[in-house]
Each structure stands twice: as C-alpha cells, then as structure tokens.
Structure 1
Amino acid sequence: MKKFRVILFLLLSVLCQAQTAEKNIDNQSILWNRYYNQLLLSEKWSLHSEFDNRVFLKPVQENLYVIRIQGRYKINDHLETGAGFAYFSVDTQVPEINHDYKTPEYRGQQDLTWKLNANKVTLIQRFQVEERFIHNADNVKLLPGTTFFWRFRYRLQGDYAFWKKEKQLLKAVLSDEIMINFGKKIIKNTFDQNRIYAAVHYGLNSQLAFELGYLNSFQRRSNGIDYFNRDIIRFSIFHKIKISKKV
C-alpha cells in the first residue's frame, strides 16, 4: 500500500507540474467512434478486438484510426490481465495541416486490471505499459526507421448502476487516466497526457451495449512547450460473443 501511495504521489506531481507551467495550448474538437468486440472463449479466457475512428470537427478532417487485438485472462473475481497489439494510422494531429501521407504506429500493450463490486458501484483500476514504435516522418514524407519509447498509463474508474432489469442495465461511467512517457528519446515530454471521461452506458441485452460520453484530453507535445486541449465526444458499441456455453 505504501508503494502504491508513492507511485500515485509521483504521478500527481508530474501532472501538477504540467498543468501549472506556462503553455501554448491548441484547443480541438474531435468525434471518436468505436466498435469493441469481446469473444468469450471460456470462463477465464477471452479475445478482445477494437476498431476506433477519430475525426476532427472544426474543421472536419480525419485524425486517425486504430485497430487493436488482445488476449485477456481472468485471474480471480477481482484481477485480470491482458496483452495485445495495436496499429495506428495517423492522418494528422492538427486539422489545418493535412499531409499527403499517413504515419503508422505499432504498439504492444500489457495491463493488470483490478475491479471491486460494491452494490451499485464498481471501482476499477488499470495499470498498463505500452511499447510504441512510431514511423519517422517530416513535413513532406515518411522517413526510414521508427522511434521507440515506453508509456505507462494509470486509470481510475467508477461505474454507478442506475438500474438493472433482467439482462438490461443503465449506468454512469466516470474515470481519470494519466499517461507518462519514458525512454531514451523522451526529453521534454515525460508527462504525456491526462484524460477525464464521463459517460452514460446502456446495455440493451447481455450481448450488446452502447456508450456515449465526453472526454477531455490534455496532452503535452514532444517539444515540451505546446499542448493539445481536446474536447472529445465518444460513441462506443460493445459486442459480446460467447463461444463456450459455460461463460
């Protein structure tokens, strides 16, 4: 418990430093659309896949799309772990600038997730590590090679169920996630970003659910001076498919 408090203190210190320093902030509005599939293989094992498309709204311009896949293992009623791979295709991070190429990123990820259910409230903590390989590029074209660095993510989330009726449910979701970069290539942007998220989640049945929420992403750019402050509307479709009858 003492180690956890030390880690939390360090993360909050980095976040406070990022939010109090002098900044050049670029405000953006984005729409995220996501399809998330859970293939339930057994009581312990599942295969998760995700497709996420992100579009700037002012002006309308493609931001990026993501394809993720990961295997997950349920250790017990409170703990589960997962490992997977993600592919990003980045069109642009600034909608006023549209390059003639897309920048690929290849990302490994591993996480440990802790969950506690207490009546109508569910508390979730996720600790995640990512290995990021971003293709080199300039303002004109892609360049040979990739840039590698690590990123650590910690997310604290609370879910509150308003009501449950047979296989239907309606709940509120509230979370805060901080992301920290580290590696030889990281010089000025150890603090990457902080994400605050609030949403309403409706489960139509045991297989299909919909979620609509607002996410604020405050992100430091690689030069350490400029920041993105992003207002994001996120719409998600969750789809569960049971392979085993025992699930």
Structure 2
Amino acid sequence: MKILKSLALVIFSLTATFSFAQKSDLGAWYMYFGNNKISKKLNLHNEIQYRNFDGIGDLEQLLVRAGIGYDLTENNNNILLGYGFILSRPYINSEKTENIEHRIFQQYITKQKFGRFNIQHRYRLEERFLEEDFRMRFRYFLGLNIPITNKEMLPKTLYVSAYNEIFLHFDSPVFDRNRVYGALGYVINKNMRIEAGYMNQIQENKNRGQIQIGFYNNIPFTKN
C-alpha cells in the first residue's frame, strides 16, 4: 500500500507539473500498451497513445497501433507485423494543422536477463504512408527494467525503467530523432503494471521534454 501511495504521489506531482507547464515546451503523453497471448506462440499487440503539447487538451498526436506477433522461442524472440494510424495536429506558423499517416511496421523483440536487469532490444522497420509522401524508417530501442523492492518483477514490486531509442531514415537526412526515458513503475499483478516518467526527445537539433504515464496490460486471451 505504501508503494501504491508513493507512485500515486509521483503521478500527482507530474499532473501538477502539467498545470504549470501549459505554455512551455513540456508535453504530456498518456499511453496504453496491450500484449495479449492468443495461443502459445501468437500474441496480439494493441496500443493507444494520446499525446499533447501541454498537460491535456491541446492534441499533438493520436496514435493507434495493432499487430500480430509470433514467438520464435518460448516467451521470447518475437517477430510481429503491425499497422498504425496516426493523427497529427502540429502548429505551422502558429496555425494548427492536421494530417493523417498510415503506417505498416515489422519488428523483432528479444529479451535478456542479468540478475535484476531485465533488458529488451527492439528492432523496427516502418513503411510510412503520409498524405503527400512515402518514407521508410528504422528504429532501435534498448529498454531496461530493474526491480527495487523485490529481486524479480513480481506483483507489488516497485521498479525503475529506462530506455533509449534512435530513429533513422532510409533517405536524407538519415538521422530523424532520439529519445531518452526514465520512469518509476509499479507491478500491479502478473499481467498489469503502470509507469510514470520523463522522456527527452532530440529532433532537428531541438530538445523537447515529455511527461509520460503508461499502462501495460498482458492479460492472455487463452488459458494455455
């Protein structure tokens, strides 16, 4: 219970930060990630991200992804084919605009464990169908979860989460962006966890911070 109160305090503090950051470059992302087993080898990926320029109300981007994955080994080495719908509302010359992107992506995820260190590598290839353009992009994600109050990522465990992800275009300019993230997380039960943290993104030689709150759901759709 004390751990839940601590995490609630972190989320409350971040929410308070949103209130004072309405006119700054600090944005807020609210994220849901589902990774649900539909058989021993197959999984359904489902994801919604609601991204704001400020705390809430000024939509920057709505992102919805879904895909089917297959484990090459037991609960590891997952290959996945997916689709993403992205609605973006950027400001151009102080005017709010809107554009839609359809995205197909292929990815490979492999996991490693060294003591308390739970490491994930994700390699993703994206085919991006923009309104007036087509682009391909490669992304490499290196993530790390470290339990604090237990030796394993067990229910009622407080943990630290961090990642770095780099985005590369197949054409010029090659470098697209880089993201660095740190958060505090809590394992609710064996199938659900929640994180609250901060991500800094470098894009076009500019840094922009994002407060992030994410919920992870791994409830299987099968009894096997």
**Structures share a fold, TM > 0.5?**
yes
Evaluate the alpha carbon distance shift between residue 115 and residue 95 of structure 1 in structure 2; reply closer, same or farther with a 3 A threshold: farther
TM-score normalised by length of structure 1: 0.74
Shift of 1:169: 2.3
> Do structure 1's residue 198 and structure 2's residue 182 form an aligned pair?
yes
Q: Could you tell me which of 86, 99, 102 is aligned with 1:103?
A: 99
Q: 1:223 matched to which residue of 2?
A: none
Question: Which residue of the partner structure matches residue 43 of structure 2?
Answer: 46
Query: Does the CA contact (< 8 Å) of 1:28 and 1:58 recur in 2?
Result: no
Counterpart residue number, 1:167? 155
Question: What do you get for the CA RMSD once the two structures are aligned?
Answer: 2.2
Matched ranges for 1:209-224 at <5 A: 209-220=193-204
Select the structure of larger CA radius of gyration: 1
- Measure how far apart 1:38 and its partner are: 2.4
Against the structure 1 CA distance between its residues 157 and 58, is the aligned structure 2 distance closer, same or farther, given a 3 Å change threshold? closer
- Residue equivalent to 2:68: 71
Instruction: Indicate conservation of the 8 Å contact 1:61/1:95, yes or no.
Output: no
2-side partners of 1:95 and 1:69: how far apart?
Answer: 33
**Which position in structure 1 is the counterpart of 2:141?**
155
Take 1:60 and 1:166, find their aligned partners in 2: how far apart are those partners? 35
Q: 1:91 aligns with which of 86, 89, 97?
A: 89
CA offsets per residue over residues 181-210 of structure 1, 9 Å max, x none?
11xxx43x2110010011112111123211
Aligned-pair CA distance for 1:119: 2.2
Deviation track 1:5-46 (CA, whole Å, cap 9, x = no partner) reads xxxxxxxxxxxxxxxxxxxxxx82210001122221122111
Q: 1:148 to 1:155 in 2, by over 3 A?
A: same
CA contact (8 A) 2:154 2:187 kept: no
Counterpart for residue 29 of structure 1: 26
Equivalent position amino acid for 1:181 in 2: H
Q: What TM-score do the two structures reach when normalised by structure 2?
A: 0.81
Structure 1 residue 152, shift from structure 2 partner: 0.5
Question: How many residue pairs are counted as aligned between the two chains?
Answer: 198
SS in 1 for 2:127: strand
CA contact (8 A) 2:32 2:216 kept: yes
Which residue identity is paired with 2:166?
Answer: I
Match of 2:222 in 1: 244
Alpha-carbon distance in 2 for matches of 1:62, 1:94: 14
Please point out which of 113, 119, 124 is paired with 2:120: 124
What is the identity percentage for the equivalent residue pairs of Structure 1 and Structure 2?
25
Within 2, Cα distance between the matches of 1:155 and 1:95? 32
Summarize deviations over 1:46-71 as a string: whole Å, max 9, x none: 10111111111289621010110011
Deviations 1:102-160 (A, max 9, x none): 20001111111121112211121111110011113xxxxxxxxxx11110111112211
For the structure 1 residues 97 and 66, does the alpha-carbon distance in structure 2 shift closer, same or farther, using more than 3 Å as the test? same
User: 1:132–1:148: 8 Å Cα contact kept in structure 2?
Assistant: yes
CA contact under 8 A between 2:28 and 2:56: conserved in structure 1?
no
TM-aligned CA distance change 1:210 to 1:111, over 3 Å: same
For 1:59 and 1:81, locate their aligned partners in 2 and report how far apart those are by CA, in whole Å: 34
SS at match of 1:28: coil
- 2:8 matched residue in structure 1: none
1:57 is paired with a residue of what secondary structure?
A: coil
Counterpart residue identity of residue 110, structure 1: Q
